[in-house]
Structure 1
Amino acid sequence: MTALRSFEAAGRLSSFTSAADELCVSQAAISRQIRDLEIELGQALFERRHRRVVLTPEGARLLTVLTQSFDDIDASLKILRNEQPLQVLRISVEPSFAACWLIPHLPDFQNDYPLVDIAVDSDPRLVEFRSQDVEIAIRYSRTHHAWPRTDSRLLAQVDMLPVIAPGLRDSGPELVTPGDLFNHVLLHEENRNAWTEWFMLAGLALPQTTRGPVLPDGGLVMQAAIRGQGIALLDKILVSDEIRTGGLVPAFELSVPNGAYYMVVRNFNRLTQPAQQFAQWLQDRFAANTGEPV
């Protein structure tokens, strides 16, 4: 059983070192147990490559069976121990989504489900659900809509809209056409790609000389925009509350598509009751087709 546990963790994490960390043993112990298992089976389960390991077809088949089996064992043990359903739900959320949308709306969930406490892990990396208490992750992606050994559901399409603080709009250079944005400081998230795509959609090219701070997170970009430090290109979903309350206003109504948000779990059919309640609440907050908050 120990060797199977070691193999399952290493295969799921694609790393002997990560498996050792999860199981609280040495990397050498993981390597030895997997080698012994391969000898017993007469099959290679991993291809050892430079600084990484890759499952063989035989290893991939075994991993599929073992992962499901260990999940079933864990669920059965919880039932035998008469464990009560978790009332603290841990979720992993993209930092900008957490700061700009989830936290402002979380009181609505707490009002509907007062016996469920939400523990938020603000992290852009996709969690390994087996090794942590996290049950639900909310992830942004421009290219992916599914991740290995997980279930995912589309939450909302992302459209980026240029926004400006009312004070800057009234006191800064006039904004009549999209080209007038070049007279303002532009705020960038991670890189300048989003603005480049927006200007292309507007029929303009972003000048190579265009400057402006590049910030690592959409929440920071929003805060800079609110304080009048420049014009930001922000997710319409995340900026909707600020537009509604007048903290920011659209500089122009033209928006550019830019990926989507997904709800990611290990298995939607195996969520605890609090996780089911949160997942349903989250889906109900978004219109099915437009991706706009309900």
Structure 2
Amino acid sequence: MPVCSGSLLAMSDQKLSVAELLTELPLLHQSTRITGWEEWFALSGVSSPLVNNGPRFDLLSMLIAAVRSNLGVALLPRFAIQHDLDSGDMVIPCDVPIRTGNRFIMTWQEEKSDSPHLQQFREWLLAKSVVPQEM
């Protein structure tokens, strides 16, 4: 989801349209997901050569620090920044939900299925998982 620091949007309390987001805020990129913005804007119905402009960061932690430092807007996973969203330090400037189709799976060896530690971890993981609502 696109996020930026709360203070970056302090002058406006309105959500930005996709086009405004593209033209008004610097786009920050994670080097391991270099096509992230391009895919996000394409799924939003916007095409522009500007989506690949902006600084790139190798580590997710560096990208999060850049957002916290008011450097721009980034595509970040909610789990990594939920505390920032809850506190208002980060905000979602453009409320355009996009399903990317990315999924995570948990696998284990069949002979370990009865392990109490495995079951406890699985239950914790399911409790922390967010099931996307239909759009």
TM category, shorter: 0.7 to 0.9
Closer, same or farther: CA 185–282 of 1 in aligned 2, 3 Å? same
**Match of residue 185 from structure 1:** 26
| 2:7 maps to 1:167 | yes
**1:28 aligned partner:** none
Aligned-residue offset at 1:213 = 1.6
1:154-212 Cα offsets, whole Å, 9 max, x none, are xxxxxxx111101111259x963221222321111224311112111222113257421
Distance 1:207 1:196 in 2: 9
Number of equivalent positions? 129
Residue type matched to 1:235 in 2? P
Question: Does the 8 A contact of 1:191 with 1:214 survive in 2?
Answer: no
Counterparts of 1:268 and 1:213, CA distance in 2: 47
Query: Does residue 1:260 correspond to 2:100, yes or no?
Result: no
Say which SS state the counterpart of residue 167 (structure 1) adopts.
helix
Deviations 1:245-266 (A, max 9, x none): 2120001111222302222323
Aligned sequence identity (%) = 22
Q: Which residue of 1 aligns with 2:125?
A: 282
| 2:103 match: secondary structure | strand
Pairing partner for 2:116 from 253, 273, 276 = 273
- Higher RCO (CA 8 Å, separation ≥ 6 residues): 2
Q: What residue ranges of structure 1 are gaps of 5+ in the alignment?
A: 1-160
- 2:125 and 2:97 map into 1 onto residues whose CA distance is 24
Q: Is the 8 A contact 1:166 1:248 kept in 2?
A: yes
- Greater gyration radius: 1
Contact 2:16 2:93 in 1 (8 A): no
Corresponding residue of 1:226: 68
Q: Deviations over 1:29-67 (max 9, x none)?
A: xxxxxxxxxxxxxxxxxxxxxxxxxxxxxxxxxxxxxxx
* Other structure's SS at 1:260 match: coil
TM-score by length of 1: 0.38
| Superposition RMSD in Å | 2.7
Question: Residue 214 and residue 271 in structure 1: after superposition, are their counterparts in 2 closer, same or farther (change >3 A)?
Answer: farther
Distance 1:188 1:209, change over 3 A: closer
Q: Give the conservation status (yes or no) of the 8 Å contact 1:164–1:225.
A: yes
Matched letter for residue 283 of structure 1? L
Aligned position for 2:93: 251
Structure 2: gaps (5+ residues):
none
Report the TM-score when normalising by structure 2.
0.76
User: Aligned letter for 2:24?
Assistant: N
Task: Identify which of 36, 40, 49 aligns with 1:198.
Answer: 40
- Aligned ranges 1:48-197 → 2 under 5 Å: 161-170=1-10, 176-181=16-21, 182-189=23-30, 190-197=32-39
Paired with 2:48 and 2:40, the residues of 1 have a C-alpha distance of 9
